[in-house]
Amino acid sequence: MRATLMHGAGDVRSEDIPDPTLVEPTDAVVRVTAASICGSDLWPYKTLEPSEEGRPMGHEAVGVVEEVGDEVSIVKRGEMVVMPFAFSDGTCLFCHEDLHTECLHGGFFGNGGPDAGGAQAEAIRVPQADGTLFPLPTDADEALMPSLLTLSDVMGTGQHAAVVAGVTEGKIAAIVGDGAVGLCGVIAAKRLGAEQIIVLGRHADRTDLAREFGATDVVSERGPEGVERVRELTDGLGAHSVLECVGHDESTQTAIGIARAGGAVGRVGVPQSETMPGSQTAFFGNIVVGGGPAPARAYMDDLLPDILDGKIEPGRVFDRTVGLEEVPDGYRAMNEREALKVMVRP
């Protein structure tokens, strides 16, 4: 089959690899009908060490179940499913706490680990199929596919940031970052009832979309100026809930800087350094800082009806669609900020 492999920084290729097969009796093989390139794929795109074998890429997919192992009982052949970016058994104590990304038998797709291949391919092997795959209604409209695809990562991740940040009815939420996750964070904040929604971002086309998703204010300044601007917009107090959707030191510092005393920061941007900036600001402000890899699987039941009803349209973050052969150019376009988020149709 055709698949996407990254052989080093800036070196993405579409090539032939063996078809995925069932390895464990709890596996399924899914034929991918739509996948996407994630902002987090751009990190190895900038830094990956060169290798001959290459790393299978992609962790967001919608597809059709093609084969299931003997111990798979919930997921059925022929079913249309969403594949979250992490696999999980659905039965361990963490899965029962809706923290599927900490599953005792889980792992991540497309990260170079031994267990899981990449979703930017014609098909993918899915470990722990029953606990991982989320069956879609049989009559789900094709036009909804982009939004359903966002359940695999960006919409669930934006939701996680909002939940960890404690967004509630009538409160002020601020979202740091205008990438696909930040925009989905705006949707999540709106959906959870935030009254004022401030987005921090500098790309007019993206912040325009943020406004359509429910943002009430846009702050384009960064660093201390951005913090100052948010304070001006919030009677000098800051936001109750801050969604950190970038992961850089500066954005984390900003996120903590714009949280009001007693507020919370939900971090979903993958941190690029070991130490966390803003420690003293957080401490003296009694600010709760939390977050991590989003248990996207846990949020699907809650988010699905709003997508089916057209109440939320997170699929609007996709502004380009490519075939498998054009995936390398999709990486280039996202890396150069020419595209916001790229969908892959194998």
User: Which chain residues interact with Zn ion by CB under 5 A?
Assistant: 88-89, 92, 95, 103
Minimum Å distance from CB 214 to Zn ion?
33
Minimum Å distance from CB 153 to Zn ion?
18
Minimum Å distance from CB 293 to Zn ion?
13
Under a CB-based contact definition with an 8 Å cutoff, are residues 174 and 241 in contact?
Answer: yes
CA–CA gap between residue 107 and residue 105 (Å, rounded): 7
- Give SS3 for 175: strand
Minimum Å distance from CB 74 to Zn ion?
14
Quick one: CA dihedral 295, 41, 37, 76, positive or negative? negative
CA–CA gap between residue 248 and residue 321 (Å, rounded): 28
For Zn ion, which is the closer residue by CB, 3 or 99?
99
For the chain, how big is the Rg over CA atoms in Å? 20
For Zn ion, which is the closer residue by CB, 92 or 307?
92
Residue 100, C-beta contacts closer than 8 angstroms, at least 6 positions apart = 84, 86, 88, 90, 94, 106, 131, 295, 296, 297, 298
CA–CA gap between residue 281 and residue 118 (Å, rounded): 40
Minimum Å distance from CB 239 to Zn ion?
33
Minimum Å distance from CB 208 to Zn ion?
40
Minimum Å distance from CB 148 to Zn ion?
23
Long-range pairs for 275-282 at CB < 8 Å and ≥24 separation? Answer: 276/252, 277/249, 277/250, 277/252, 277/253, 278/252, 278/253, 281/253, 281/256, 281/257, 282/256
For Zn ion, which is the closer residue by CB, 92 or 155?
92
Cross-strand partners of 64: 31, 80
For Zn ion, which is the closer residue by CB, 92 or 149?
92
For Zn ion, which is the closer residue by CB, 99 or 230?
99
For Zn ion, which is the closer residue by CB, 92 or 173?
92
For Zn ion, which is the closer residue by CB, 92 or 210?
92
Quickly count: other Cβ atoms within 10 Å of residue 121's Cβ: 28
For Zn ion, which is the closer residue by CB, 89 or 244?
89
Side-chain half-sphere CA neighbours of 176 within 13 A: 33
Minimum Å distance from CB 132 to Zn ion?
10
Minimum Å distance from CB 83 to Zn ion?
16
For Zn ion, which is the closer residue by CB, 93 or 270?
93
CA–CA gap between residue 174 and residue 246 (Å, rounded): 13
Residue 344, C-beta contacts closer than 8 angstroms, at least 6 positions apart = 4, 34, 35, 36, 37, 58, 120, 321, 322, 323, 324, 327, 330
